[in-house]
Structure formats: structure tokens, C-alpha cells
Amino acid sequence: MSIYGVQKRCVRRNEIIYRALRRNQIIGPNGTPDTDQTTAAAVAMEEMVREWQNDAGCRCWISDLYNTGALTAGDYTFTHANGESQILDIEAAYLTLSGTNYKLDVITKSEYDALSNPTTQDLPTKVAFYPTDWTLYFWEAADNTYTLYYYGILVDQSFRGETDNYYFPGNWANALSLGLSAVIADEYGLPTRDYYEARSREARFTALNTDIREYGITDLDGNLEEIEEVDFCDDDYDYYGSY
């Protein structure tokens, strides 16, 4: 882990699903749902997110991690591959060199254009994405050969498939889990729907007023075992009790 404090800012779809199923006691505290339960919950979650995205100001997107290969000395641009899923923007990025991660500050293209000497070679510290040509711009140019990783915000991507375990912004973790808990409770005929719906509305208000750029959780390394460290509600007492 680098002293640069690379942060995850993301939560996996399946962790949200597992959390919602645990809240409703459909699976136990350490349980894992079967394929049918996961798929049904994913379909419900996708429909819920689509509805939320129609609300003004709702920035609850999905993203995926790209390990794109080398950024070599002198490079200050990198083009997102045409064969990859289309992306609207990037929400986090980092470079690795000899086992050390270096976090990049994500800025806008206009902020990048205001910087001087973009071709000067040094350890890059900033990156901007220009969707017109799917290009990442770095400041400054690379002074070595780094491996580049970034989370790209996907364009209207379905995530209901069994293997579509995409990422969501970490600041939406509680709202998504609580909202899905309400939907699942309704589908299973449980008495918890109104309880979780009320908590979800509160969590959505918090998420809408939280800047994803300022929200960090753990290290941005993509390891699934780290996902469970997402900061769900500190006072997470569900309808039945505490897990």
C-alpha cells in the first residue's frame, strides 16, 4: 500500500444484494444466496436503480475496473480501448510501479487544460477524461513505465446477469442496500417494506449530498475480500435486530 492513500470509493453489486437479503433474514449473517436468489435480486435492483436514475440529480451509476496495461515514459494520454464497454467518465484511477500504488486525482478536462507543461516527465498526479475521443489525459507525462487502473462509469449497462458484479459509488452503498431491502421485502410479503423504504429515502438524501470525489473507503485494488469493509450505516439495526 502506497503512502498516497489509494481509495476504493466503490461497492460491488453482490455485496449490496447479500446485505439486503441478510437484513430480511432470507439468508443468515454469514450466508450466501443461491444463484436464483442472486439473479432475482439483481433484476429487482436494476429496475430500482433505473427508477432512481430518472430522478433529478441522482448520480447512482455503475462502473467497472480496467487494467489497461502500460503507461510508458513520455506518455501523457491513454485512449480507452474501442473493444471495451463505453464509458461516460472515470471516477477513480491509479498507477502501479514495483508493487506500489499511486493515486491520481480525477479532474475535469477544462481543469486539465488550465495546467502548464503537461509533457514534462514526472510521476503523474492528475488525470482527466475526455469522452469525445475516450482519452485519459495525465499531468504530468509519465517518467517511467506504470500499470494503469481506472474505474470507468458505464453507459446504460445492464447488471442483472449472474456475472455482472459491477461496482457502485460507495456513497450510495447504504441507500442501495436499504432500497433493495424494501423491494425484496415487498416481493417476499415481509412486514419490513415500509421500514426499509423510509430508511432508504433518508440514505438517498445523504448520498445525493455527498461528493463521490471526496468519499473513500479502503484501498483501490479490486480484491473482493476488501468489499465487505464498505462503511454501511454505523447504527445498522434492522427490523428484526442487529447483525
Residue 74 per-residue DSSP state: T
* Dist CA 218 CA 227 (whole Å): 8
Is the torsion defined by CA of 69, 72, 78, 81 positive or negative?
A: negative
Cα 167 to Cα 19: distance, rounded to the nearest angstrom: 15
pLDDT(132) > 70: yes
Contact 33, 26 (CB under 8 A): yes
Q: What is the DSSP letter of 214?
A: G
CA distance 119 to 142: 9
pLDDT at site 171: 79
d(CA 132, CA 53): 23
Closest CA to 231 of 166, 165, 171, 175: 171
pLDDT recorded at residue 223: 34
The overall pTM is greater than 0.85: no
* The pLDDT of residue 187: 92
Place of cell 503523474: 124
Mean pLDDT (whole number) for 4-14 = 60
Q: Are strands 135-139 and 77-79 parallel, antiparallel or unpaired?
A: antiparallel
Tell me the sheet residues that pair with 121: 141
Identity (one letter) of the amino acid at 32?
T
Residues 78-106 have a mean pLDDT of 83
Span 14-45, pLDDT tens digits? 999 999 999 999 999 888 899 999 999 999 99
Q: What angle do CA 19, 22, 23 make, to 5 degrees?
A: 85
